[in-house]
Structure 1
């Protein structure tokens, strides 16, 4: 029989880990307060309000109205001396070919861009970005969407990718990145996109949510409905749920992390609404683990990577 003293000694490593986790989390909170580097801190950039559409407006109607809106946003940015924003918007609409389901150039910006043919696609990936993604940093997010679409097209031409910058992402070092406040608001917007895709995409198309970093917190709060067959969490700090069964989805839940992703060092604890709890790649979370290779936090959708190949296979309904 084990003595009480032995039980106390056996519990000490776990208590030590808990204390270290609390200490590290407190340090992160302190750094966030002292060094606020937030996307929301970007200067307010003038632009027209985003276009408003009837519920069943076609994709073509949305694309045309949002291109016109972006042209006006470029004009207003130039008039206000915001040459950098104007230049980035021109790059986004090079040749007048951008296909935007939504666009709002005010402040940090919103953009929902389509790659591939929504009307003909039976497999659609929706990319949900993490922290520090704004209209001014959108190009790096967009590059991942392009790389994924090119990979999908080689294996399954009837596929499309939607890059969804539909919320105010928190700064990587900010108080907001440690709580679910931004994610709760964003989840409602993501749910609206899923509904919208049901009206503009091919009937019966399978949707996959690909959720990076803080975007995995957003996806963990999104009620997906039956159209979403898979949810992939990568570079995730946690979701706020103890296990995959708590997520509001009937989809298959996947998780992966690159071998050199710094997010592995974030404490997986949750104290008073701060932090996100169980590590999604831990066995106790219960997600299906996909190979993510040796990449870092920003490498998951880079061409030629193991992680990109895995995520493409998930979108196409297979096993990585």
Structure 2
């Protein structure tokens, strides 16, 4: 049954047209050249990336792409703080919320499919909601550091994009640890296909991360939490109304490729610490006031002794 369902998903992804594939490339400058960031040079990195976003906005407008131009222009706002910005292709951006240089608790959010510069605001809204919930001496980083797959595409069913993304996430975490030092607690909060990225990055990660939380996961590409070979505490949750529960959590060989991501992270077989996520759906984990957001904040703050478990 799982093999049949996965085959159906693959065929659906192949036959349904994906409009983004035919979209013309949007001109943009290469990313700003920023020296290794330190607490004292964070402001220079922010300024350089805002300037890059402003230039990308002008180039997109000249190209006739008003939607991308507007997205880039919003990111060039003087109140925004980006550690990285790249307006080329679907776009990449790494935004900071809070005082990173002095934060004691830091959350790095890794998004799932269909997250681009045009759709970035919905991802950003979750980061803002989490930071508002965390309070002082914290920072949240929205890490759109990879080309996410389209939800309706074959790339959303395989680990290819995740494997490409993993080295970038690993390098970012190394650089982040260099900025915040060893005393700050860093948590990876990974959503949907982003859990596959985090699962790939965890294996071989040579920098300390305190917690890894998988929410709305189709699987991580690993059969168990132990197979991630991480010293981090591993957490998992799924909302009661999340459709991802109906996706087969398996891996099979189809059409010469491995499809699927393995064991369900909320299953006892995976071995994660499963926490309550409330009644929300697939896009509701970072909704203000939700059970899931409250528990994710507890993980980031290291305050899990009384956290409700599923």
The answer, yes or no, to whether TM exceeds 0.5 is yes
User: After the TM superposition, which residues 60-209 of structure 1 pair with which residues of structure 2 at under 5 Å, given as runs?
Assistant: 60-94=43-77, 96-153=78-135, 157-209=136-188
2:275: which partner in 1?
Answer: 290
Query: Number of aligned pairs?
Result: 297
1:246: which partner in 2?
Answer: 227
Task: Tell me the SS of whatever aligns to 2:183.
Answer: coil
Provide closer, same or farther for how the CA distance between residues 38 and 102 of structure 1 changes in structure 2, counting only shifts above 3 A.
Answer: farther
2:27: which partner in 1?
Answer: 46
For 2:167 and 2:214, locate their aligned partners in 1 and report how far apart those are by CA, in whole Å. 18
For 2:127 and 2:64, locate their aligned partners in 1 and report how far apart those are by CA, in whole Å. 30
Backbone CA RMSD of aligned residues: 1.4
Task: Tell me the SS of whatever aligns to 2:201.
Answer: coil
Choose which of 258, 261, 267 in structure 1 pairs with 2:242. 261
For 1:218 and 1:292, locate their aligned partners in 2 and report how far apart those are by CA, in whole Å. 21
Deviations 1:13-38 (A, max 9, x none): xxxxxxx1111110000001011437
Alignment gaps of 5+ in structure 2 = none
2:10: which partner in 1?
Answer: 29
Of stretches 251-260 and 42-51 in structure 1, the one that deviates more from structure 2 is 42-51
Alignment gaps of 5+ in structure 1 = 1-19
Task: Tell me the SS of whatever aligns to 2:5.
Answer: helix
Q: Is the 8 A contact 2:80 2:95 kept in 1?
A: yes
For 1:43 and 1:204, locate their aligned partners in 2 and report how far apart those are by CA, in whole Å. 45
Question: Rg: which structure is higher?
Answer: 1
Provide closer, same or farther for how the CA distance between residues 97 and 42 of structure 1 changes in structure 2, counting only shifts above 3 A.
Answer: farther
For 1:220 and 1:72, locate their aligned partners in 2 and report how far apart those are by CA, in whole Å. 35
For 2:161 and 2:243, locate their aligned partners in 1 and report how far apart those are by CA, in whole Å. 22
Task: Tell me the SS of whatever aligns to 1:163.
Answer: strand
Deviations 1:224-259 (A, max 9, x none): 445310000000000121110001321000000000
Q: Is the 8 A contact 1:258 1:296 kept in 2?
A: yes
Q: Is the 8 A contact 2:90 2:116 kept in 1?
A: yes
For 2:7 and 2:194, locate their aligned partners in 1 and report how far apart those are by CA, in whole Å. 22
Task: Tell me the SS of whatever aligns to 1:222.
Answer: helix
Shift of 1:88: 1.7
Q: Is the 8 A contact 1:260 1:297 kept in 2?
A: yes
2:265: which partner in 1?
Answer: 280
Deviations 1:173-204 (A, max 9, x none): 10011110000110100001101112322552
For 1:65 and 1:92, locate their aligned partners in 2 and report how far apart those are by CA, in whole Å. 12
Provide closer, same or farther for how the CA distance between residues 241 and 196 of structure 1 changes in structure 2, counting only shifts above 3 A.
Answer: same
Q: Is the 8 A contact 1:204 1:227 kept in 2?
A: no
Provide closer, same or farther for how the CA distance between residues 38 and 112 of structure 1 changes in structure 2, counting only shifts above 3 A.
Answer: farther
Task: Tell me the SS of whatever aligns to 2:197.
Answer: helix
